[in-house]
Amino acid sequence: MKRPARKKIAQALGFLALRLAMAVVLAVLILLLGDIVRKGGGAISWEFLSQAPRRGMTEGGIFPAIVGTFLVTVITAVLAVPLGMSAAVYLNEYARQTRLTRLIRLSIRNLSGVPSIVYGLFGVILFVNALRLGTSVLSAGLTLGLMTLPWTITAGEEALKTIPDSYREGALALGATKWQTIRTNVLPYAVPGMLTGTVLGLARAAGETAPILFTGAAFYLPALPKSPGDQFMALPYHLYIMATQHHAILKVRPLAYGTALVLIFLVLGMNMAAIVVRYRLRKKQR
């Protein structure tokens, strides 16, 4: 009788420890988000969202940073989405199990592990200097685009994998060529899934700071960027400056909290939208 009782106690204690670990993670998440929402909420107003910073960035809003983050994300998407999708099509539809295919997959997995600051260094050399794009929205967007590429490829492949082979075989049996099959029987069903995965990657890119530090983000600009060759203000960089580089850090703390809230709202909003859509898609496919 003694042994089974001890076994039960061990299990109860063990499971309690696991539950505690989960509780710790949830508590940290609530602590982090709660602090930002509580202290950032007061800073949010229509003025904060729609006006430029004033008086050495001690007053006013973050409108130029919102615009800048939007613009740079558009360029990121223009590079990373089409390239990522076509690479995914190659890997899932064309590639055979060769050494080269394994090398491509290995490269993709390793690219997603390259530190973001290293992408920044690469962007400085390739886009800012070699291609003479200077520090600009374009350079920063392309740098972020390269960083996002492995994520969009993986997301695209995941979506293509969910399309049953019978779809492809049906078209091929009717005499369609490979591309006709992909165009009519694979892509139309895979694109929604590919796009949701892509949004997750773009959300991460929009929140990144290190790759844009030296490729185009600016401390403060009196005007919005007029062309892709101009420098820009960005939400993550603005938060970094307001938190560490400003001449009156404690005075602008509420503005920093407000910026953090807007950034989190934007990034997590994109994330959650994608997660919800993906969940629905999966349910439909079952």
Separation of alpha carbons 244 and 211, rounded Å? 18
Question: Could you tell me the two tokens for 88?
Answer: 């995914």
Q: How far is the CB of 40 from another protein (least distance, A)?
A: 10
Closer residue to another protein, CB minimum distance, 226 or 283 = 283
Is 116 among the residues that bind another protein (CB under 8 A)?
yes
Separation of alpha carbons 124 and 119, rounded Å? 9
Is 103 among the residues that bind another protein (CB under 8 A)?
yes
Is 87 among the residues that bind another protein (CB under 8 A)?
yes
Is 160 among the residues that bind another protein (CB under 8 A)?
no
Binding to another protein (CB under 8 A) within 42-81 occurs at none
Out of 78, 164, 179, 220, the only residue in the binding site for another protein (CB under 8 A) is 179
Binding mask 26-45 for another protein (x = CB under 8 A): x-xx-xxx-xx---------
Q: Which range binds another protein by CB under 8 A, 18-26, 48-56, 186-194, 224-232?
A: 18-26
Out of 207, 225, 228, 258, the only residue in the binding site for another protein (CB under 8 A) is 207
Per the CB < 8 A criterion, the answer to whether 214 and 119 are in contact is: no
Closer residue to another protein, CB minimum distance, 195 or 241 = 241
Is 168 among the residues that bind another protein (CB under 8 A)?
no
Question: Could you tell me the two tokens for 209?
Answer: 């700071």
Q: How far is the CB of 86 from another protein (least distance, A)?
A: 4
Binding to another protein (CB under 8 A) within 265-284 occurs at 267-268, 271-272, 275, 279
Q: How far is the CB of 88 from another protein (least distance, A)?
A: 9
Binding to another protein (CB under 8 A) within 211-270 occurs at 213-214, 236-237, 239-240, 243-244, 253, 256-257, 260, 263-264, 267-268
The single-letter code of the amino acid at 117 is: I
Per the CB < 8 A criterion, the answer to whether 211 and 114 are in contact is: no
Q: How far is the CB of 89 from another protein (least distance, A)?
A: 5
Is 17 among the residues that bind another protein (CB under 8 A)?
yes
Is 93 among the residues that bind another protein (CB under 8 A)?
yes
